[in-house]
Amino acid sequence: MAEIDRIFEELTHITARLQDDISPDERIRLQERRRELHGEAEELREDDPVALMAELERLERRWDDLSKQRIDVVKQAGGGSVGGDFGFATDAQRINRSIDESGGRARIEARIKELRNRLYGS
């Protein structure tokens, strides 16, 4: 049995036991063990290049989706005054910051960089 299979089997057992009428001490013990198993599973995932590549692809798609939601300030500012529409540009930048923050863009970019370094070494 693969290590990840053992972890999932034990997690399934723990989940079933937590549904039962058990003592508070037993519930605490099982919850602690569940946290340990989640940590073990995370460590295995972090060493699996296939899982890392899948995560990278998912995050890159998410980053692309966030980019599509942003306002293109240059396109939108066309046709304004000769010097440009500073008020609109400021509003658009504020909206873009809000989109980035609510979508977790900085966190996504950092994780993408980390994954690329781990997978490609650059």
Question: What does the pLDDT look like over 17-73, one tens digit per residue?
Answer: 999 999 999 999 999 999 999 988 888 777 778 888 888 999 999 999 989 999 887
Distance (Å, whole) CA 12 – CA 62: 30
Q: What is the pLDDT of residue 108?
A: 92
Distance (Å, whole) CA 60 – CA 66: 10
Domain residue limits, the chain: 1-47, 49-122
The CA-based dihedral angle spanning residues 64, 69, 75, 76, taken in that order and rounded to the nearest 10 degrees: -170
Q: What is the pTM of this model?
A: 0.57
Res 15 pLDDT > 70: yes
Distance (Å, whole) CA 42 – CA 55: 13
Mean pLDDT on 84-99: 80
Residue 28 burial (C-beta neighbours within 10 Å; 0-12, 13-18, 19+): exposed
